[in-house]
Amino acid sequence: MASINTNSASMAALRTLNMTQNSLGKVQSQLETGLRVNSAKDAPATFVIAQGMRADIGALNAVSEGISFGQATIGMAMAGATSISDQLTTLKGLVTQAKNEGLDGAVIQGQVTEVLAQIDAITSTSAFNGVNLITATATTLTVPTGLGATDNVAFTNVDLSSTTGLALNTVDASDTANLDTHLATIDAAIATVGGALTSIGTFSSRLDDQGEFTQLLTDTMKEGLGVLVDADMAEVAAELTALQTKEQLNIQSLSIANSAPQTILALFR
């Protein structure tokens, strides 16, 4: 039936055009964001999973920051302990030198005092962001290693101060009768610092390994997230071209359908 009130062909063409333009809008959104799933309406289940993965990735980034802080702190402790080890080498040389005849033990003791003061200066300044792992003050460095409540490692401070930690306050180069005893005390201090360096180095190595693993885990999760939500840009480009062509054809079809009622005028001529 020919009607000027109802144009079924025009309505069908308009519906098709609207559907094409909706699809075109989705494709353009993918092109702008690079995401196939950009909101819950695109794919609710996938979007929820993706949001959970984004939260985990953010948490892992925080873990990486914590590990970096731990590496810097333990690195400062390692530098301090290494410097103290060097000072102990100097100290042992001085006390050994005091055994030589004709040398003034009091003068050498003055140098010994300076070395001990330097050791204490090193221990008091080997801190990173207020955390010092080689002083007498009880300190524990706790470093996160994962997302679980118990995923962490800890390092307890090692006292390397000249008095309470290394017991060097009794060393006296002017006490020539007991120089061997003083050298034994220095050797014990060297062993203590050596043990501290071993512990610090082992912990530092563990943090390095954990940092690399955390970065690998973060990258893997990002890749997995990309598989879930990223758009295939080659496919998007091809679909965009097809939809743009389809849109033009839909507009042409709508134009033809809208002109159909005008043919009725020919019946009245």
Cα gap 157→33, rounded to integer Å: 49
pTM: 0.79
Q: Is the pLDDT of residue 21 over 70?
A: yes
Segment 51-69 mean pLDDT: 95
Q: Is the pLDDT of residue 46 over 90?
A: yes
pLDDT digits (tens, 9 = 90+) for 87-135: 999 999 999 988 887 677 788 889 999 999 999 999 999 999 899 999 9
State the chain's mean pLDDT as an integer.
90
Compute the residue count for the chain.
269
Q: Is the pLDDT of residue 184 over 70?
A: yes
DSSP 206-264: HHHHHHHHHHHHHHHHHHHHHHHHB--HHHHHHHHHHHHHHHHHHHHHHHHHHHGGGGG
Per-residue pLDDT band at 1 (split at 50, 70, 90): low
